[in-house]
Amino acid sequence: MANRNRHRRFGNIRKRASGRYQVRYPGPDGRMRTGPVTYERKSDAERALSLIEAQMISGEWADSDRSKIKFQDYAAYWLAQRPGLRPRTIDLYAWLCHKHINPYLGGVPLGRLSTPMIREWRAGLLRSGVSVSMAAKAYRLLRSILATAVEEDKILARNPCRVRGAGTERAPERPVLTVAQVFELAELVAVARSAMSGCSLLAVTGFGTGGTGSCALCPRSIPADRRPKQPYGQWPRKAGQTPITTAATVLSCC
């Protein structure tokens, strides 16, 4: 921006004892900030101030002072500011930070996080035996936390989580029955239906139960001292246990 009467309209430039130039400027909150680097020429410092002002106008400016906060501290602040999350979700996020993120990235200032650093962090998780699904969960949480630092708090200029495919969970392919397995299953269903028909007939006639009208094959309808000796399997020794029977007996009686 143009200056009038040798006074800058935005920020100021001072010459340090080393002969290099340093910029100072007010942030959106009105607090004065000092540029993190110095410049050899005054014209370079002026261009830096103009760029900072343009970033503030466009909403792309990031607070260099606040970017010094460590990730683990910002993550704790981020989690505390989300009371709408379910308790189980909060527990999951806290566990992911404690187990997979903070041991590697927790002590790094937000401003020093980079895409190569995050790519190496994810690769380290996979090398240590963490599943792809769990690594994807941790990556998505990291990306969400840093997105808040970019979009809402204006601490970072851009989100360093730019590892392609890192947040995608690839579920294992479900097994498909072979032709032989399909025919075997059909045969088992036919046997089960036949057993159900026999069970219904015994229930109507009361055969084998003293005319009580209960199924003669079901252990729950037969006293322990009158049970047959393993007609379709082994009866349980204790009351309340399920007998070890064939699939046809289970389908017909239970």
- Give φ, ψ of 225 to 5 degrees: -80, -5
pLDDT of residue 198: 57
Give the model's pLDDT for residue 178: 83
| Both tokens assigned to 93 | 């996020």
- The CB density around residue 79, as the number of other CB atoms within 10 Å, is 16
Residue 156 CA to residue 151 CA, distance in Å, equals 8
Give the per-residue pLDDT at 10: 84
What pLDDT score was predicted for residue 247? 41
C-alpha 53/C-alpha 153 separation (Å) is 18
Give Rg (Cα) of the chain: 36
- Among 219, 222, 207, residue whose Cα is nearest residue 254: 219
Domain 67-151: CATH superfamily, name plus number: Tyrosine recombinase, N-terminal domain (1.10.150.130)
* Distance separating alpha carbons of residues 110 and 237, to the nearest angstrom: 65
**Which pLDDT value is given to residue 106?**
95
Strand partners, 21: 15, 39
For residue 234, list its beta bridge partners: 244
**To which residue do tokens 């936390």 refer?**
145
- Segments in the chain below pLDDT 70: 1-8, 171-174, 196-254
Q: Can you tell me the distance from the alpha carbon of 217 to that of 98, in angstroms, rounded to the nearest whole number?
A: 55
Task: Please tell me the predicted confidence (pLDDT) of residue 63.
Answer: 75
* Of 43, 99, 49, 50, the residue nearest 72 (C-alpha): 99
φ/ψ (deg, to 5) at 213: 80, 15
Per-residue pLDDT at 61: 74
- Domain 12-61, CATH: 3.30.160
DSSP per residue over 80-148, as a string? HT-TTS-HHHHHHHHHHIIIIIHHHHTTSBGGG--HHHHHHHHHHHHHTT--HHHHHHHHHHHHHHHHH
pLDDT per residue as tens digits for the range 76-102? 999 999 888 999 999 999 999 999 999
